[in-house]
Amino acid sequence: MDLNSLNKRVWFNSKPEDELNWCTNPPSVAVREYIVSKETSEKDQTAGKIDQNSSNSSPLKPDQLSLIVHKLMTNGLGLATTQDLKELKRLVSDGQKIWFYVVPFTLPGELISAKVIENSWGYSLCDLVEIIDNKSASRIAPKCQYFGKCSGCQLQMVDYETQLEYKRSFVNSVFDLENPEILKSIKFGEVDPVAHLDSKSFGYRTKLTPHFEIFKWLPKSQTKIGFNYTNRREIMDIEECVIGTDSVNSGLAVARKNTMDKIEDYKRGATLLIRETNVTDNGVDKKGYVLSPKDEVEELVPVFVSDKTDTCTTYQILDYLNVISRPDSNWNDRIVNPKLGDRWNKISPPSQADISIELCPTDTDPICVPAEVKLALESGNVDIYTQNMRFRFLASSFFQNNNSIIPKLVYHVGLSINKASLKRVSSGRNKITNLVDVYCGAGLFGISLSHGFKSVVGIEISKESIRNAISNASLNNITNCSFSQGDASDIFAKIKPSSSSSDAKLDPSITAVIIDPPRKGSNEEFLSQLMDYGPAVIVYIACGVPAQARDINYLLKNGNILTNSNFSSKNDVSMSEKSGTPVYEISSVTPFDLFPQTYHVENVVTLVRAF
Ligand SMILES: C[S@@+](CC[C@H](N)C(=O)[O-])C[C@H]1O[C@@H](n2cnc3c(N)ncnc32)[C@H](O)[C@@H]1O
């Protein structure tokens, strides 16, 4: 059964192509909301009409529905119907129309009651009312008093081991949805288990951005400062965030008090930015908080809204229908893969053979003690010590928000490049000596890994971040790093690579490229420039896995990824060698749990040039 025929079964016949496009290019929240609000009345009518002609469930807005949850989607929401799986399969094979329900805080197999909040194409978004029966064995009591209402965390009700299994299956599903060939191209045939730090599954987040809004009808003294409610554009008053570190929580208390003290001055609202800085004083660790100049901005910036754009519920429903409609499908495997395997063991110090990249693979941040760091608090800067290095950046600019796992992530990136380099050397080719860190921010990856390379070039669009990167290299006495400010494609357009180039820094055969773009991913222009360049290794780090899968698929479709089908014969290989088109092997796909208790996952894909 193909996706086109399934389109006729679910109730978004009007514009199925638009829906599918969203999956690869999700529209902005504003566009999506516009389309949804424009279509809502029509959809409700259509839904009612279809309901009369169908043996199936009602998509109208009843107060309470009994539902069975079938799977946890990659956005952390449960996918449910009124039927059990057996009945659902029967209806699907009879060609009946199915209406789905999307319910947060629910787990596969659970019988729940839910209330419809709004209807969308093919499904209704619901609030969970209660778990009626078949409570999941992995369900635990959440740690946070706000969990279940606050939109910040989606998975606190799941034990941590199962969260990791889910995240691995999320990465699998996202690649599978984009193009099943991607998974087949992975060298070991599977996504690695999720790398994590068990001890830091709470109290890890070093940045909080609560916000508030002033309403004419509400006395200012009753203003709520916090995060949005789940499923609502309304702010929930939050006094503490259990995924935040102790220091950002103490910052939250101060920021809330300061704001309420001057609340009469605000006309609309603001976002507060609270970031942890590692400040040490006379060897005693004294973590502090920073309120950026932004806390004065009289503008509401909703914090969690963008989360909704990076997955496509409708597409996942289509995929689910596709899977359960196959008589031989082992659908259960796609919900959670219980076989974690042990390919990701605890990081051990590098062996002698790995030493050409020097790293400090510790799980905790080593603390250095420069007294002048205290000034950072006054200037709106943040200082982070990690891997025996010091990074300073403007509080409002990008830096990873989970310090505890940074060493493990950076170490993995360095080790992936080093392994590829050693392999090249063992087959008589040159060692990788150059690193290009694209989307480098304040220089975290390039500077941390600089000891393993002759030269490092960082590329970054933000002027502020590039200034930070340059001064971070000198703060750490690193002399082999240079940085270029500008759009990645504009800078790559100027590179004229050739292994005989007089500028050895640009020789692609001895160069590794790290790309770590924003959530929306990279773009075709940059990816094709990267392929024209053809470096020895590419490490693609992503917080937006759907966009990463789209970008990898772009390379796959253009013949740049080694698959069984496209390079099975010797002829193909020699053709590729003749044409000079670089062909890469996906040597590993390793998710990192930078965001425990939420559905987010950071994913690292390593591409090693095969020809
Ligand atoms: C996810 S952050 C990664 C930063 C850095 N690698 C780190 O881990 O700290 C993405 C970075 O890409 C930068 N960026 C966004 N669009 C860009 C573009 N078109 N060209 C170059 N850099 C860009 C952003 O300013 C941001 O610093």
Domain around 109 = 3-28+63-137
Check whether residue 460 and residue 547 sit in a common domain: yes
Last residue of a domain, one of 137, 160, 190: 137
pLDDT in tens, 565-610: 655 544 455 555 556 789 999 999 999 999 999 999 999 999 999 9
- Are 432 and 609 in contact, with CB atoms under 8 Å apart? no
- Are 97 and 50 in contact, with CB atoms under 8 Å apart? yes
Mutate which of 410, 461, 514, 524 for ligand 1? The one with the most ligand atoms within 8 Å of its CB, which is 461
Residue 65 CA from chain centroid, whole number? 32
CATH for 10: 2.40.50.140
Average pLDDT, the chain: 75
pLDDT greater than 80 at residue 47: no
Check whether residue 365 and residue 452 sit in a common domain: yes
Check whether residue 422 and residue 343 sit in a common domain: yes
pLDDT of amino acid 468 = 94
284 CB contacts (<8 Å, ≥6 apart)? none
- CA–CA distance, 15 with 39 (Å, rounded to integer): 11
Check whether residue 94 and residue 191 sit in a common domain: no
The H or E element containing residue 414 is helix 406-426
pLDDT greater than 90 at residue 50: no
What is the secondary structure of 559-605 as a DSSP string?
A: T-B--TTTT-SHHHHHHHHHHT---EEEEEEEEE-SSTTSS--EEEE
What beta strand segments (E) does 446-488 contain? 455-460, 481-485
Which stretches within 25-126 are classed as H helix?
A: 29-52, 85-93
pLDDT of amino acid 250 = 81
Which of 252-261, 539-548, 550-559 comes out lowest in average pLDDT?
A: 252-261
Is residue 107 in some structural domain?
Answer: yes
pLDDT greater than 60 at residue 24: no
Instruction: List, edge to edge, every strand of the sheet that includes 288-291.
Output: 207-208, 274-277, 288-291
Is residue 11 in some structural domain?
Answer: yes
Q: How far is the CA of 489 from the centre of ligand 1 (A)?
A: 13
Ligand 1 atom closest to 442 (CA): 9
Ligand 1 atom closest to 437 (CA): 6
Structure tokens at 609: 């040039």
Check whether residue 95 and residue 187 sit in a common domain: no
Is residue 261 in some structural domain?
Answer: no
524 CB contacts (<8 Å, ≥6 apart)? 554
Residue with the nearest Cα to atom 4 of ligand 1? 441
- Are 210 and 150 in contact, with CB atoms under 8 Å apart? no
CATH for 476: 3.40.50.150
Check whether residue 97 and residue 191 sit in a common domain: no
Residue with the nearest Cα to atom 11 of ligand 1? 439
Instruction: Compare 408 and 443 and report the one with higher pLDDT.
Output: 443
Q: How far is the CA of 338 from the centre of ligand 1 (A)?
A: 35
Check whether residue 556 and residue 432 sit in a common domain: yes
Check whether residue 94 and residue 192 sit in a common domain: no
Closest CA to 282 of 384, 388, 387, 368: 368
Is residue 174 in some structural domain?
Answer: no
Closest CA to 541 of 607, 495, 485: 607
SS (H, E, C) 486-516: CCHHHHHHCCCCCCCCCCHHHCHHHEEEEEC
Check whether residue 131 and residue 185 sit in a common domain: no
Check whether residue 405 and residue 345 sit in a common domain: yes
- CA–CA distance, 400 with 593 (Å, rounded to integer): 12
- Are 114 and 353 in contact, with CB atoms under 8 Å apart? no
Is residue 391 in some structural domain?
Answer: no
Q: How many CB atoms lie within 10 A of CB 132?
A: 13
- Are 601 and 170 in contact, with CB atoms under 8 Å apart? yes
Is residue 151 in some structural domain?
Answer: no
- CA–CA distance, 179 with 14 (Å, rounded to integer): 25
- CA–CA distance, 113 with 103 (Å, rounded to integer): 10
Side-chain-side CA neighbours of 26 within 13 Å: the count stands at: 24
pLDDT of amino acid 449 = 92
Check whether residue 131 and residue 194 sit in a common domain: no
Is residue 429 in some structural domain?
Answer: yes
Burial level of 604, CB count in 10 A (0-12/13-18/19+)?
buried
Last residue of a domain, one of 101, 118, 137: 137
Side-chain-side CA neighbours of 125 within 13 Å: the count stands at: 15
Is residue 501 in some structural domain?
Answer: yes
Of all residues in the chain, the percent with pLDDT exceeding 90 is 48
In this prediction the ipTM stands at 1.00
Burial level of 484, CB count in 10 A (0-12/13-18/19+)?
middle
pLDDT greater than 60 at residue 281: no
Last residue of a domain, one of 82, 102, 137: 137
- Are 186 and 586 in contact, with CB atoms under 8 Å apart? yes
Q: Quote the Cα angle for 117-120-125, to 5°.
A: 35
Residue with the nearest Cα to atom 2 of ligand 1? 518
pLDDT greater than 70 at residue 28: no
Binding residue numbers for S-adenosyl-L-methionine: 400, 439, 460, 516
Ligand 1 atom closest to 519 (CA): 1
Q: Which residues line ligand 1 (CB under 6 A)?
A: 398-400, 439-442, 444-445, 459-462, 465, 487-488, 516-518
The count of domains in the chain is: 2
Check whether residue 188 and residue 68 sit in a common domain: no
- CA–CA distance, 172 with 91 (Å, rounded to integer): 27
Highest average pLDDT, of 131-145, 311-325, 505-519, comes from: 131-145
Instruction: Compare 351 and 449 and report the one with higher pLDDT.
Output: 449
Structure tokens at 361: 């693979």
